[in-house]
Chains A and B, each alone.
Chain A
């Protein structure tokens, strides 16, 4: 059974802080994704990675960066958090273009 875990369920940060969200999957999937989930807007892709050290921008990459140093781990970084980045962040992984397996989500509040 695929397990995707995220480092925190809830996070509260202040404007301007650097924020790290981590995601780990245990099924040797090549592809990993970061999404924002906002009411009325659905899931929007921030970044995805198809291999170690490889990344591609999604639809809303501004204000975010990512890091994938190991196959099982994909980190989302908010260089300088802003209030409009308050959201639910979902990580997912897939093998090829197969079913996406999601983590439980991190609800980030930026004050």
Chain B
């Protein structure tokens, strides 16, 4: 079955510390993977997608097909990074996006 797993419900780090939000997926084909972010009182929005290979707001995510992972990383967390983060999979040829359960990131001063 196609599935996205985010094992951490809550991740707390201190400002300036490295951050890694974990995402593992279950899908037999070539996946299209995304990270979405929801800041307090804002709508859910795209943070980055693996095919663009961009760094957005200092975040990067590398697709590891061997480990079926798409972890989100940032070397130095900022307080404004505090938000809810969702990993999502779009199986090729469908429009049925599959979201993980989300990880709330809290960056402490």
Does the CB pair B97–A103 fall under 8 Å?
A: no
Q: Across the interface, which residues of B come within 8 angstroms of A97, CB to CB?
A: 32, 90, 92-95
Q: Across the interface, which residues of B come within 8 angstroms of A102, CB to CB?
A: 43-45
Total CB contacts across the A-B interface at under 8 A: 50
When A97-B32, A102-B44, A105-B43 are in contact, do A42 and B49 touch as well, CB less than 8 Å?
no
Task: Confirm or deny: B86 has a beta carbon within 8 angstroms of a beta carbon on chain A.
Answer: yes
Stretch at the interface among B64-72, B73-81, B98-106: B98-106
Does the CB pair A43–B43 fall under 8 Å?
A: no
Does the CB pair A42–B101 fall under 8 Å?
A: yes
Q: Classify chain A's interface size.
A: 20 to 34
Q: Across the interface, which residues of A come within 8 angstroms of B43, CB to CB?
A: 4, 102-105
Q: Across the interface, which residues of B come within 8 angstroms of A48, CB to CB?
A: 95-96
Does the CB pair A58–B99 fall under 8 Å?
A: no
Distance in Å: Cβ of A48 to nearest Cβ of chain B: 6
When A99-B34, A100-B97 are in contact, do A90 and B44 touch as well, CB less than 8 Å?
yes
Q: For chain B, what secondary structure do more than half of its interface residues adopt (helix, strand, loop), or is it mixed?
A: loop
Complex Cα distance, B45 from A16, in Å, reads: 33
Q: Across the interface, which residues of A come within 8 angstroms of B86, CB to CB?
A: 42-43
Task: Confirm or deny: B46 has a beta carbon within 8 angstroms of a beta carbon on chain A.
Answer: yes
Task: Confirm or deny: B53 has a beta carbon within 8 angstroms of a beta carbon on chain A.
Answer: no
Known: A33-B95, A43-B102. 9 other contacts (CB 8 A): A4-B43, A33-B97, A43-B44, A45-B98, A97-B32, A97-B94, A99-B46, A100-B88, A102-B44
Chain A residues with CB under 8 Å of chain B are 4, 31, 33, 35, 40-45, 48, 50, 56, 58, 90, 92, 94, 97, 99-100, 102-105
